[in-house]
Amino acid sequence: MTDKLSGHSLEDILPHRGSMLLIGEVLEVGDDYAITRSVVDDSFPLAGDRGLEALVLIELAAQTAGVCNGITRLRDQGKDSSSMGWLVGVKRARFYVDSVPFGATVETRSENRHLFDKLREVSAVLHVDGSLAAEITLQLYQA
C-alpha cells in the first residue's frame, strides 16, 4: 500500500480515524482516480445484526475519492498542508443491494469527472464480492 500512496499513510491523506476509517487497502491510485478494497465487519457505522446498511457505501465512495484527491494535495502542497476533509454532497446514488453482509469484500473505484478550483464531481462504482452494488455521484468541495 505504501508505494501506491507515494510513501504516505491513509492517516496522512484522510481525516478519518478508528472505526470511521473504512478503507482496508488501496489497490491503485492515479491522477484522477483511486481503487480501494474493504472487508465489511461489525465495527462499520450502521452495522446491524446481519450486515451493513447499503447507505454506508456512500461513505466508502467518499473516502476513496479522498484518497485520490488527498494524494494530489500532498503532492502539490506538501505534507504540512491542511488535511481537513472535503464537504461532500450526494448528487445521485443508485443502489443495487439493500445491505452488505459481514465478511463481504467491497471494491470501490472513484474518479474525478469534473474539476473546477476546489470543487469536484466524482463518479464512484462499488462492487460487493464482484457484483455491482452501487453507482454514486458525489460533489466535493474543499474549504
DSSP letter string over 41-103?
-TTSTTB-SSEEETTHHHHHHHHHHHHHHHHHHHHHH-TTS-----EEEEEEEEES-SEEETT
Element (DSSP H or E) covering residue 126: strand 119-128
Angle at 66 between CA 63 and CA 68, to 5 degrees: 125
For residue range 39-57, what is the model confidence (pLDDT) as tens digits? 999 999 888 888 999 999 9
Mean pLDDT (whole number) for 62-73: 82
> Is 35 in a helix, a strand, or coil?
strand
When pLDDT is cut at 50, 70 and 90, the band that residue 1 belongs to is very low
* Domains of the chain as residue ranges with CATH: 10-141 (3.10.129.10)
Would you state the pLDDT for residue 134? 98
Residue pLDDT, tens place only, 88-119: 899 999 999 999 999 999 999 999 999 898 89
Q: Residue 71: what pLDDT? A: 72
Identify the band that residue 76 occupies on the pLDDT scale cut at 50, 70 and 90: low
Cα 80 to Cα 8: distance, rounded to the nearest angstrom: 12
How large is the average pLDDT for residues 60-88?
Answer: 75
% of the chain beyond a pLDDT of 70: 86
User: pTM (2 decimals)?
Assistant: 0.87
Whether 142 has a pLDDT exceeding 90, the answer reads: no
